Amino acid sequence: MNDNEATLKDVIISVRDYIRELRKKIFLIFSIILLFLIIGYFYSLSKYDKYVATISFIVEDNTEGLNISSMNGMASQFGFDLSGNSASSFSQQNVIELLKSRRIIESTLNQYSTISDVNSKFLDHYVEINSLIEDSSLFNFNETFIDSITNVVWKQILNGKLSLLYQNDDASILNLNYFSPIPEFAKKFSEGLINQMSDMYSEYQTEKTRLSLNNLQNRSDSVFYELQQAERNLARIKDRNLKVITSSGRLDEIKYMREVKVLNAMYLELVKNLEILKMTLLEDTPIIQVVDYPILPLQSVKKPTIFWVCIFGFIGFLVASFSVVVRKLINDALQEDN
């Protein structure tokens, strides 16, 4: 018990000594804090305004629209599979990764947009806004150079300029946030990313339907051509058999009449399937349903000057106090050795 009391007493004495030492060095501590306050002030001035464009959207795993299972039986008679397209590859997590992919971002950067009355590619606007090239006249903008710049821009966008987060833990709504010193660029570029993602989905989601539509259209054109040929042959045989009264003389006419009837039934069935496929293609809904688009003026996310002054002032206090404490520790250790 006595040892514990002695140990506690030593701790209290040590703490009191360190507090006394801090009070002695109050001018030094204040000077360091003041220095850090000044550094924080100038640091805040170096931070440019940054605006955030937020797009809220929902990723649907299942497509809606026409149910094409009802026409599978009809289409399968002609060798076409209309079993639909799987949207499982476009789950929410996959969409998040795809929006960060180089393909989507590069496609968006190559789009033209008018910003500050200048119509140019997003890539050109980005390079100018972020001062990636001081004098563009000194560079040869060949394909290799453009690829290199695009790669640099893509990495910069991923590192701090683009974020994709769930709105909350319970909802499946995603927020795409893009940060830029130019609010108009942030708004239009974020919208371009969503449009590119939607176009990619539409192309993927309707690929099998479009392929079946093209094949069915070719088959329909082929049957229609055969039907026209059979009708011409039937008309020719009828003209030739005007004065023929025997059944044997009308065998070719009966044959072509049967062929016309069969081809006509096939053609009508193909046309019906074509119309259903066209309706299906029109009714395919995009996987990305946008809830809210960014509206100008955008909100600035730049921290106020007082924030950085307080942060640097606190850091200065920690640095000054730590220096004083370490210095006392060293001096005490040296005295004990002596």
Measure the CA–CA gap between 291 and 282, rounded to whole angstroms: 22
The answer, yes or no, to whether the previous bond of 297 is cis (omega within 30 of 0) is yes
Q: Which residues of 199-236 are buried (b: 16+ CB within 10 A; e: fewer)?
A: ebbbeebbebbeebbeebeebbeebbebbeebeebbee
- For residue 133, what are its two tokens? 């090239």
Give the right CATH number for 51-206+286-300 from 3.30.1890, 1.10.1060, 2.60.120, 1.10.287. 3.30.1890
What's the pLDDT at 247?
Answer: 62
CA dist 271 and 277 (Å) reads: 10
Please answer whether residues 151 and 210 qualify as being in contact, where contact means their C-beta atoms are separated by less than 8 angstroms.
Answer: no
Tell me the two tokens of residue 77. Answer: 């008679």
Q: What is the pLDDT at residue 68?
A: 45
Contact, 182 vs 51, CB < 8 A?
yes
- The DSSP output letter for 206 is T
pTM comes to 0.58
Per-residue pLDDT of the chain (338 residues; tens, 9 = 90+): 455 554 766 666 677 777 777 788 788 888 888 998 888 888 877 777 788 899 988 876 544 444 444 445 444 544 445 454 444 455 667 778 888 888 899 999 999 998 888 888 998 888 888 877 765 554 555 666 777 888 888 998 988 889 888 877 676 788 889 998 889 999 999 999 998 887 777 777 666 777 777 788 888 888 888 888 888 888 887 777 776 556 666 777 778 788 888 888 888 888 888 877 777 766 665 567 788 888 888 877 777 788 888 898 899 888 888 888 888 777 777 776 65
Based on its alpha-carbon atoms, the radius of gyration of the chain, rounded to whole angstroms, reads 38
